[in-house]
Chains A and B, each alone.
Chain A
Amino acid sequence: MGSHRLGGATLFALSARQVTKRFPGVLANDHVDFDLLPGEVHTLLGENGAGKSTLASVLCGLYKPDEGAVLRNGTQVRLTSPRHGLQNGIAMVHQHFRLVDRFSVAENVVLGHRSLPFRLRASDLEDQVAQVAERFGLPLDPRATVGDLSAGQRQRVEIVKALYQGAEILLLDEPTALLAPPEVEKLFETVRAMTQVGKSVVFVSHKLGEVVDISDRVTVMRDGRVTGSVARGEADTRKLAELMVGRDIDLSPRRSQVPARETLLQLDKVGLTKDGIERIANVSLSVRAGEIVGIAGVSGNGQRELAEIVAGLQAPTSGEILISGARVNGMGTRHVRKAGLAYVPEDRLGTGLAPSLSIVDNLVLTRDRGFLVDRKSALAEAEAFIQQLEIKTPHAHTATRKLSGGNSQKVLLAREIFAAGEDSRVLVVCSPTRGLDVGAVEAVHKLLDEARSAGKAVLLISEDLDEVLTLADKVLVLYRGSVVHEVAGTEVDVEAVGLAMAGLS
Chain B
Amino acid sequence: MIIGNFRIELEPRLTSPKWLYAAVPAGSLVFAFIVGGVFLALTGHSPIGTYSSLISHGYTSTKGITNTLGLATPLICTGLAAAFAFRMNLFNIGEEGQMYLGMIGSAWAGIALAGHMPHVLAVLTVLIVGAAAGALWVLLPAVLRAKLGTSEIVSTLLLNYVALNLVNYFIFGSRGFFRDPTTSFPQGRGVEETARFHSFGNSNTYPTVIIAVLLAVALYWFMKRSNFGYETSVFADSPNTARYAGMNSTKLTLSVLLFSGALAGLAGAMYVVGPAGKVDPGLLQIGLGYAGIVVAALARYNFVAVVLTAILFAGLRVGGASLQISSNPVPIAIAVVLQGSVLLFALGGEIFRRNRLRIRRVQQVSVAS
Contacts and interface: CB of A to CB of B under 8 A. Distances in A.
Interface of A: 17-18, 24-25, 65-69, 71, 74-76, 312-313, 332-334, 337, 343, 345, 347, 350-357, 361, 364-366, 369-373
A312 to B, nearest CB: 8
Contact of B13 (A24, A75, A373): A24
20 contacts: A17-B367, A24-B13, A24-B14, A25-B14, A65-B365, A66-B365, A67-B365, A75-B369, A313-B244, A333-B243, A343-B244, A351-B240, A351-B241, A351-B243, A354-B234, A355-B238, A357-B233, A364-B230, A372-B225, A373-B229
Nearest to A26: B14
A357 B237 contact: yes
B282 interface: no
B326 interface: no
Nearest to A333: B246
Given A333-B246, A345-B244, A76 B14 contact: no
Contacts of A76: 367, 369
Interface in B1-49: 11-14
Contact of A369 (B230, B242, B367): B230
A131 to B, nearest CB: 37
A371 B367 contact: no
Nearest to B14: A25
* Residue among B12, B229, B244 with the highest chain A CB neighbour number at 10 A: B244
Q: How large is the interface on B (under 10, 10 to 19, 20 to 34, 35 or more residues)?
A: 20 to 34
Nearest to B11: A24
B285 interface: no
B244 A333 contact: yes
Given A356-B238, A373-B229, 20 more contacts: A17-B369, A18-B367, A24-B12, A71-B369, A76-B367, A312-B246, A333-B245, A333-B246, A345-B244, A350-B241, A353-B241, A354-B234, A354-B237, A356-B237, A357-B234, A357-B237, A365-B241, A366-B245, A369-B230, A373-B230
Contacts of B12: 24
Nearest to A401: B237
Interface string B165-199: 00000000000000000000000000000000000
Contacts of B369: 17, 69, 71, 74-76
Contacts of B226: 371-373
A394 to B, nearest CB: 8
A69 B241 contact: no
A312 B229 CA distance: 25
A356 B233 CA distance: 9
Interface of B: 11-14, 225-227, 229-230, 233-234, 237-238, 240-246, 356, 365, 367, 369
A371 B229 CA distance: 10
Nearest to B240: A351
Contacts of B229: 373
Nearest to B13: A24
Q: Give the one of A68, A74, A333 with max B CB within 10 A.
A: A333
6 closest residue pairs by CB, A with B: A334-B246, A69-B367, A333-B246, A354-B237, A369-B227, A354-B241
A350 B234 CA distance: 10
A90 to B, nearest CB: 17
Contacts of B227: 369-373
Contacts of A343: 244
B190 to A, nearest CB: 42
A355 B237 CA distance: 7
A406 to B, nearest CB: 19
A312 B245 CA distance: 10
Nearest to B236: A356
Contacts of A68: 365, 367
Nearest to B224: A373
Question: Which residue, of A17, A76, A351, has the highest number of chain B Cβ atoms within 10 A?
Answer: A351
A145 B365 CA distance: 45
A138 B229 CA distance: 54
Contacts of B367: 17-18, 67-69, 76
Contacts of A353: 241
Contact of B244 (A66, A352, A364): A352
A24 B369 CA distance: 28
A361 B365 contact: no
Contacts of B356: 24
Nearest to A65: B365
Contacts of A365: 234, 241, 245
